[in-house]
Structure 1
Amino acid sequence: MENHDHTALIAKLLNCVAACENCATACLQETEVKPMVRCISLDRDCADICSQAARLLQRRSEIAHQYLVLCEEICRMCAEECAMHQHDHCQQCAEACRQCAEACHAHHQPITQD
């Protein structure tokens, strides 16, 4: 993996983690939790995957840029789900996920096996 400075990408990933964790927590406190189940589930997956992506980039893992393909996918799924809910925390999460997906898209490489 090339020795690039990934500070901005890592910041977007960690911002997405925080937004997803905040959204999932807030969803669990809504009066009607049942309609929020998929949102909570995707929030948790997205937070975990983005967190792992940030760690891989920080340690300059040779698979980091390939892992960003998966990261972009979960961010887009989470953004789409959160955008369907009118809660502020969902809208903020959707925006953080969209920004993260775009950043991942700009940096990922195809998944290949040698």
Structure 2
Amino acid sequence: MDPQQLLSCISACDACAQACDVCAASCLREADAAAMARCIALDIDCAQTCRLASAAMARDSVMAALICELCASICEACAEECDRHPMDHCKRCAQACASCARECRAMVSAGHRPFQDKPTGGPYAA
């Protein structure tokens, strides 16, 4: 995999996590925060998954591709939810989530396949 593509994916994950944190905090300050419960919950899930994906890629984890596939799916769900709301913080979050999902899918399709069998070396070897 191209190191620049990997760095681009890590950067997208980091930016998405930050956008999700801002969105969740902003949603909590909305007049009807209870109406934003699904958005807030997805923001939290997405931010945490993006951080996990970024860290997995940075340390070249054998699970990085699998985590990135999960990250892309959660980012897509969060983008869809955020896009339903008119607030600027939700729109910015939806954009960051969509970008992160694209980067994660590109990283996986570029050759980092999800973990299928037991690793042949490293800390997970039998």
TM bracket (short chain): over 0.9
Deviation at 1:4, TM superposition (A): 3.6
1:3 shift after superposition:
7.9
Question: Which residue matches 2:11?
Answer: 11
Are the counterparts in 1 of residues 62 and 115 from structure 2 also a CA contact under 8 Å? no
Deviations 1:46-66 (A, max 9, x none): 000000000001111111012
1:1-114 alignment, distance < 5 Å = 4-5=3-4, 6-108=6-108, 109-110=113-114, 112-114=116-118
Bigger Cα Rg: 2
In the alignment, the residues of structure 2 paired with residue 3 and residue 62 of structure 1 have an alpha-carbon distance, to the nearest angstrom, of 17
Query: In the aligned structure 2, how far is the partner of 1:72 from the partner of 1:111?
Result: 16
Distance (whole Å) between structure 2 residues aligned to residue 23 and residue 89 of structure 1: 5
Task: Report the Cα distance in structure 2 between the residues aligned to 1:42 and 1:23, rounded to whole angstroms.
Answer: 10
What's the offset of the Cα at 1:111? Answer: 5.0
Aligned equivalents of 2:94, 2:40: Cα separation in 1: 12
Aligned-residue RMSD, C-alpha? 1.4
Name the count of aligned residue pairs.
113
Structure 2 unaligned segments of length 5 or more: list them: 119-126
Per the TM alignment, residue 107 of structure 1 is displaced from its structure 2 partner at its CA by 1.1
> What is the Cα deviation at residue 7 of structure 1?
1.2
Distance 1:83 1:112 in 2: 34
